Amino acid sequence: MEKITRRDFLVMSGTTGVALSALGVNLAPATAYAAGLTKMDRVKSAKQIGSTCCYCSVGCGILGSVDNLTGKIINIEGDPEHPINEGSLCAKGAGLFGLSGANEHRLKKVLYRAPKSDHWEEKDWSWALKRIARLVKDTRDKDFITHNAKNQLVNRVETIGHLGTSNVANEEAWLISIACRAMSLVYIDHQARV
Amino acid sequence: MTNHYIDLKNSDCILIMGSNAAEHHPIAFKWILRARDERKATLIHVDPRYTRTTARCDYHVPLRSGTDIALLGGMIKYILDNNLIQEEYVKHYTNATFIVNANFKSEDGLFSGFDAEKKKYDKSTWTFEKDETGIPKRDLTLQHPNCVYQLLKQHYARYTIEKVSAITGVPADLIERVYKDYASTGTKDRAGTICYALGWTHHTVGSQNIRAMSIIQLLLGNIGVCGGGVNALRGEPNVQGSTDHAILYNILPGYLKMPTAPIQTLAEYNEKYTTKTNDPQSANWYQNYPKYSVSFLKALFGEAAQPENDFGYSWLPKIEDGKAYSLMHLFDEMYKGNIKGMFCYGSNPACSAPNSTKVRAALQRLKWMVNVNIFDNETASFWKGPGVDSKQVETEVFLLPAASSLEKAGSQSNSGRWVQWKNKIANPPGDALSDGDIVMRIMDEVRALYAAEGGVCPEPILNLKWDYRDAKGNFDFLKTAKQINGYYLKDNETAKKGDLVPSFALLAADGSTACGNWLMAGSFTQKGENKMAARGLDDPTGLGLYPNWSYAWPLNRRIIYNRASCDLNGKPFNPKMKLLEWTGEKWVGDVPDGPWPPVSDKKAGKYPFIMKPDGVASIFGPGMAEGPFPEHYEPMEGPLNKNLLSGQLTNPMVSVFKTELDKFANADTKFPYVCTSYSCTEHWCSGALTRWQSWLTEMQPEAYIEIGEKLAAELGIKNGEKVRVDSVRGAVKCVAMVTKRFQPFTINGKVIHQVGLPFNYGWLFPKDSGDSANFLTAAVGCPNTFCPEYKAFMVNVSKL
Amino acid sequence: MSNMELVKMIDLSRCTACRGCQVACKQWNELPASKTKNWGSYQNPADLEWNTWTLIRFQEYVDAKGRFKWLFRKDGCMHCTDAACVKVCPTQALYHTEFGTVAFDPERCIGCKDCIPACPFNIPRFNEQTKKIGKCDLCLSRLRANKPPACVLSCPTGALSIGPKAEMIEKAYKRAKALGEGASVYGDKFVGGTHVIYVLPEPVSAYPGLPENPSVPLPIILWKDVLKPASVIAGGGVLAAAFLHYILHGPKRPVEDTQEGGSEI
């Protein structure tokens, strides 16, 4: 007999778990359903990967199913073993699949808009990174303030701003934070205020 | 949150105020309802609008936007008048007993030391009297006329129920019901909690809203206990972490202070921020400040940071003392043409920043912008926005494709400080890269340019320790996490060079440890086991602490200030909810706030509020900009031209920007309706992620404004019709949702209507779904935090 | 089969209308979104559609004592025991499963639309493109894999739960009793008992679209239980289906029926 875990039918009753196996119910598929694979067949044969939802700050656990052949996400649902959400998700969380590569609106290329242009152009990373670095350096070097009006050493740049994000991992947030300081920026903010 | 989400189930009374938890933290409601199921907890929703949260609460307390301190101040008065405090807690764990400087005054909405011209307080009277050993004087009977307790009583004496009702619009009997229900948690066997969110921070009195509630929680003995605490339900998945790591102008990672211009050396910096006490029973945790600052500089600059060069302190930028560099200040400078370049990672200020007219004009004055996102957004595409002639816009714009959260690993800190390691589920589409990869690559190029060409002040760039690549050349999340946790740079008795530092208590100020953020020291074991990835489901206390599920900073403590849940002898105030207990030798239960014995041990015992220099919690809080006690001030735009409690209409410490687009219309008949802005369950923030998802836009397809039936009838507006909403700053068009869920308020005898609208929309997508509600809002904010006042402003509504 | 019968309970007193269920259903069943407009309500799509098998209905309501309430009702297939849709379906595209639920096989659906007027709860919806109906199958493939339906898994507050029939009915009555004040259980007493039951905190009449006394239309009972067995023996499917139309709609078939392929039968 398969081990019944919280991921299985036990959680069907929400707060009061009901062990169907204990009631003598045979849950093995009675008959083969229609021809072709059901969503469940595809999910069962996929890789299951646990992660965390990316909307509010509750930190719900999610389980993504990734097709072994294509590497694409085919399903995302709540992780029943997560102690906070116990499998549940709100409208945004339940729709996380909409953030995956399957969403046709996802950006897939570096886009560049030249001065006075009315359209985006596709560029490669190498060109864009070099151009950005050039703009950063030229702006920083030109506008660098070593001393303030009181002749105190301040080593800062006031003409480049950084608006960051709370939708990154800690490791990325820390990296952004120190990169801003290394570039001598002081206008640094993110969603904590808005 | 001092506590955490599951802990909501341990509460006896849950006050949801400044939050719409069911809509914005829907899973939190699992635990809120469980408190009602299992403990018969009372659920109270205080909000201008009846929402999905209200629908599941015991009752609704409709309050005019921006009057929270009036209601909370009245509750403080009620608790004191009826002596409902948790006396032992108040006397021993707060500064209620402290004697305040005899010259301190609170008069007519102002405190002593105010300079009206400079809009500045001289805080020299906001101090305590000290005895000959330098320890604050206390009166344990709480009777001294100048003790904090008596001053508090005096300050809130004006906040009568009648006055509170006239200001807030809440009927007197309902006010009394809230006070009675919530104050019932002042007994030792009951705990009350507050769930707040942006509904409190988005005001010009934002910080003081939270202070007012903190005072209530301290009076009732509700901080440090399970089912209690002061709980910010934060709005984004890792806003806790991005704040901890300081993507903010005013702090460095771990809430270290941002150096200011007058502080020229590391010694001066450490001296200024290392707190002092003469009280042997105060742990005074920030006496360790230099260990954290030096270890941070070692993590930042590696080998280049040496004692001889102040560990690179001079390479850090210095901000001007007293000057703010927040998002609002950035856009003010940009509008004035003083900002040339901007990085914009995962944010959409063209919709989310206040006063969109000004923001969108400001963006056109940039020379360049780097925008990193997973979808196009109104900020990246500002040059083709409504009314913009792209031929006139000089800005070079880079829109860099980012990986979504599903497509990268790393840790994410929830509001309850649970730092959960997550896995990458799939590869990002096309050329998209993680934000970490993008920052790393940009800095690689910048560093290469400085290395090749030299330049102005190249030291911070070239000395930056910058080795966060994995073997394949991609950003290495795990390696960076270890850098944040910190490691030993030298062998010692217990560790080898390179071992991870298992606790911030082991960090050193001599350069022998490096640590990117001291709060996270302990997120790995010494041998490198990642505690953030722990997934144990055991719950030994039965209180839902789940100590082996992920890592909670600090040091896996699940409830902060937990030693305050015990009496002076270390026995739990409420034995039925045993969070922590002193056995005579050690603490058992949650990870205690320090190992020392309880307070009754006069030699080794320490007070429970270890982060405060005095070891006790601050009912009197001199650190605040506008005064040590919260005072009700009207929003910058409101329906009244007089504050019913004092001669001071608005927060005296608020300053406003001076451009022609920074306009206000207080008590102006042209804008007669109080308005607030908010989100909805189906969208997130400016909608930059959710508006591109068809399942979500199907449910909330376009901008709307919620209008009460009576006001709609007066204006001849029918449900579903298009209307125009105007403030003195701008206008939006949206669909009218006529509802019973907004009812008119009676404010000082006069009928005042309130309306509200979501800020989730923008012109770019879906087409014709409306534009940002922030055309209406003002760029003005709390003088402590500079969170904008998105939650209270004045509008007119008209039929289209 | 009876001991495998499952019942999904919808406790409306716990629903926060977060609509996790509404999206989870679309996500699992890979149902596309419709283009909608804001029509002055949070409720969107405004009604069930072939691609919206469940939705939360929002309703502002003042009770008998004058108290304002915002009611939320998760609408969707009730999975009747005495299922009119199954009875009228000429091709067994709609059928009872081993769990007592009513599943749907799109391969077998011929788009006759007879199930639509037959349903006492107004559930099946027609897809003009595929010429087939759509409705909830209570995530049959999940049930068979020992997993709760997507909507139940997603529900944060325990408004949705599923389990053995007897147990769920007992739980529902217990909950209704605890709620007191006019709360009731809806679903177990008619159409042979539904496999989705509500705990209603307000009187049935407070919820538009929820019939007070749902029943299988008499002509269908007549057809399915009395005439159909005989006619199938006599004339096979074509004649049988034509006869069913006759007793459901009278001798003249609605115009849209002929245009939409009903005549293929």
Domain borders along chain B are 673-799
Of B9, B30, B49, B56, which to mutate for an interface test with C (greatest number of C Cβ within 10 Å)?
Answer: B56
Give the number of other CB atoms < 10 A from CB of residue B656. 15
At B795, the pLDDT band (50, 70, 90 cuts) reads: very high
Q: Look up the domain containing A88 and give its range.
A: 9-22+37-99
Q: Identify all chain C residues contacting A35, using CB atoms and an 8 Å cutoff.
A: 107
Token readout for B557 is 């403590």
Mean pLDDT of B183-203: 98
**Omega of the bond prior to B554 within 30 degrees of 0, cis?**
yes
pLDDT at C163: 98
Q: Do B694 and C23 touch (CB under 8 A)?
A: no
- Measure the CA–CA gap between B323 and B261, rounded to whole angstroms: 11
- State how far the alpha carbon of B227 is from the alpha carbons of B75, B89, B367, B543, B563, in Å: 20, 16, 51, 9, 14
pLDDT at A12: 42
Whether A194 contacts chain B with CB within 8 A: yes
Size of interface A-B (CB pairs under 8 A): 490
Nearest beta carbon to residue C155 from set A9, A14, A44:
A14
Q: Do C20 and A25 touch (CB under 8 A)?
A: no
Three-state DSSP class for A41? Answer: helix
pLDDT at C218: 79
At C226, the pLDDT band (50, 70, 90 cuts) reads: low
Boundary of a domain, candidates A99, A121, A149: A99
Q: Identify all chain C residues contacting B681, using CB atoms and an 8 Å cutoff.
A: 17-19
Q: Do A164 and B26 touch (CB under 8 A)?
A: no
Shortest distance between the Cα of A3 and any Cα of chain C, in A, equals 11
**Looking at B332-460, which runs of residues are DSSP E strands?**
341-345, 368-373, 396-401, 410-413, 418-422
- Measure the CA–CA gap between B377 and B369, rounded to whole angstroms: 13
Low-confidence ranges of chain A (pLDDT < 50): 1-35
Whether C67 contacts chain B with CB within 8 A: no
pLDDT at C230: 53
pLDDT at B488: 98
Give the torsion sign (CA, B259, B261, B264, B270): negative
| B233-272: pLDDT as tens digits | 999 999 999 999 999 999 999 999 999 999 999 999 999 9
Q: Measure CA B726 to chain center.
A: 29
Tell me the one-letter amino acid at B217.
Answer: Q
pLDDT at B205: 98
Q: Do B700 and C38 touch (CB under 8 A)?
A: yes
Decide if A71 is inside a domain.
yes
Q: Do B544 and A83 touch (CB under 8 A)?
A: yes
Beta strands B410-413 and B418-422, pairing class: antiparallel
Among all residues of chain B, which has the CA nearest to that of C27?
B695
Token readout for B358 is 């000004």
Query: Residue C252: pLDDT above 60?
Result: no
Query: Residue C247: pLDDT above 60?
Result: no
pLDDT at C246: 54
Tell me the one-letter amino acid at B734.
Answer: C
Query: Residue B41: pLDDT above 60?
Result: yes
At C181, the pLDDT band (50, 70, 90 cuts) reads: confident
Whether A149 contacts chain C with CB within 8 A: no
Nearest beta carbon to residue A83 from set B481, B549, B785:
B549
Query: Residue B45: pLDDT above 50?
Result: yes
| C11-26: pLDDT as tens digits | 999 999 999 999 999 9
- Measure the CA–CA gap between B569 and B589, rounded to whole angstroms: 16
- Measure the CA–CA gap between B536 and B548, rounded to whole angstroms: 5
Q: Do B55 and C16 touch (CB under 8 A)?
A: yes
Whether A18 contacts chain B with CB within 8 A: no
- Measure the CA–CA gap between C76 and C106, rounded to whole angstroms: 18
- State how far the alpha carbon of A59 is from the alpha carbons of B3, B417, B550, C157, in Å: 14, 10, 11, 16
- Measure the CA–CA gap between B477 and B469, rounded to whole angstroms: 9
Whether C2 contacts chain A with CB within 8 A: no
The answer to whether B121 and B631 have CB atoms below 8 angstroms apart is no
Range scoring the smallest mean pLDDT among A17-31, B133-147, B380-394, B451-465: A17-31
Beta strands B256-257 and B230-232, pairing class: unpaired
Q: Identify all chain B residues contacting A103, using CB atoms and an 8 Å cutoff.
A: 692-693
Whether C174 contacts chain A with CB within 8 A: no
The answer to whether A80 and A50 have CB atoms below 8 angstroms apart is no
Beta strands C6-11 and C196-200, pairing class: parallel
Neighbouring chains of A at 3+ CB pairs under 8 Å are B, C
| A17-64: pLDDT as tens digits | 333 333 223 333 333 333 478 999 999 999 999 999 999 999 999 999
Q: Do C154 and A88 touch (CB under 8 A)?
A: yes
- Measure the CA–CA gap between A29 and C178, rounded to whole angstroms: 37
Q: Is A14 left (phi over 0), alpha (psi -120 to 50) or beta?
A: left
Q: Identify all chain C residues contacting A63, using CB atoms and an 8 Å cutoff.
A: none
Q: Do B446 and A114 touch (CB under 8 A)?
A: no
Q: Do C23 and B738 touch (CB under 8 A)?
A: no
Nearest beta carbon to residue C156 from set A7, A11, A90:
A90
Shortest distance between the Cα of B282 and any Cα of chain A, in A, equals 31
- Measure the CA–CA gap between B554 and B592, rounded to whole angstroms: 10
Q: Do A88 and B27 touch (CB under 8 A)?
A: yes
Q: Domain ranges in chain C?
A: 1-35+44-213, 217-265
- Measure the CA–CA gap between B354 and B774, rounded to whole angstroms: 5
Q: Identify all chain A residues contacting C156, using CB atoms and an 8 Å cutoff.
A: 85, 88-90
Q: Identify all chain B residues contacting C68, using CB atoms and an 8 Å cutoff.
A: 50, 740-741
| C92-109: pLDDT as tens digits | 999 999 999 999 999 999
| B674-689: pLDDT as tens digits | 999 999 999 999 999 9
**Omega of the bond prior to C124 within 30 degrees of 0, cis?**
no
- Measure the CA–CA gap between B38 and B10, rounded to whole angstroms: 9
Q: Do A14 and C4 touch (CB under 8 A)?
A: no
Nearest beta carbon to residue A12 from set C20, C27, C162:
C162
- Measure the CA–CA gap between C2 and C165, rounded to whole angstroms: 9
- Measure the CA–CA gap between B603 and B409, rounded to whole angstroms: 47
| CATH number of residue A52's parent domain | 3.30.200.210
Whether C197 contacts chain A with CB within 8 A: no
Decide if A105 is inside a domain.
no
- Measure the CA–CA gap between C178 and A78, rounded to whole angstroms: 30
Mean pLDDT of C64-75: 97
Beta strands A153-163 and B341-345, pairing class: parallel
Among all residues of chain A, which has the CA nearest to that of C168?
A13
Q: Do C68 and B50 touch (CB under 8 A)?
A: yes
Same domain, A84 and A116: no
Q: Do B701 and C19 touch (CB under 8 A)?
A: no
Shortest distance between the Cα of A25 and any Cα of chain C, in A, equals 6
Whether A32 contacts chain C with CB within 8 A: no
CATH number of the structural domain C1-35+44-213: 3.30.70.20
- The continuous run of DSSP H or E covering B492 comes out as none
Same domain, A93 and A14: yes
The answer to whether B378 and B349 have CB atoms below 8 angstroms apart is no
ipTM value of the model? 0.98
Q: Do A91 and C19 touch (CB under 8 A)?
A: yes
Q: Do B238 and A167 touch (CB under 8 A)?
A: yes
Give the torsion sign (CA, B332, B335, B338, B341): positive
Whether A8 contacts chain B with CB within 8 A: no
Whether B26 contacts chain C with CB within 8 A: yes
Residue of B545, B578, B577 whose CA lies nearest to B6? B545
Whether A159 contacts chain B with CB within 8 A: yes
Token readout for B82 is 């009826």
At B549, the pLDDT band (50, 70, 90 cuts) reads: very high
- Side-chain half-sphere exposure of C248, counting CA atoms within 13 A: 29
Among all residues of chain A, which has the CA nearest to that of C30?
A39
Whether C72 contacts chain B with CB within 8 A: yes
| % of chain B residues with pLDDT over 70 | 100
Same domain, A71 and A16: yes
| B90-116: pLDDT as tens digits | 999 999 999 999 999 999 999 999 999
- Measure the CA–CA gap between B239 and B230, rounded to whole angstroms: 17
pLDDT at B746: 98
Number of H helices, E strands in chain B: 21, 29
pLDDT at C236: 47
Residue of B720, B749, B755, B581 whose CA lies nearest to B65? B755
Q: Do A88 and C153 touch (CB under 8 A)?
A: yes
Three-state DSSP class for C263? Answer: helix
pLDDT at B604: 97
Instruction: Give me the residue label for tokens 């009631």.
Output: A23
- The total number of residues shown for chain B amounts to 800
Beta strands B230-232 and B251-252, pairing class: unpaired
| % of chain C residues with pLDDT over 70 | 83
Neighbouring chains of B at 3+ CB pairs under 8 Å are A, C
Same domain, A81 and A116: no
Three-state DSSP class for A185? Answer: strand
Among all residues of chain A, which has the CA nearest to that of B38?
A15
The answer to whether B293 and B512 have CB atoms below 8 angstroms apart is no
Whether A74 contacts chain C with CB within 8 A: no
Three-state DSSP class for B362? Answer: helix
Class at the top of the CATH hierarchy for domain B673-799: mainly beta
Shortest distance between the Cα of B779 and any Cα of chain A, in A, equals 11
- State how far the alpha carbon of B183 is from the alpha carbons of B14, B47, B82, B573, B784, in Å: 11, 19, 10, 17, 28
| % of chain B residues with pLDDT over 90 | 100
Nearest beta carbon to residue A148 from set B261, B374, B683:
B261
Helix residue ranges per DSSP H, C108-227? 115-118, 140-144, 150-154, 165-179, 218-221
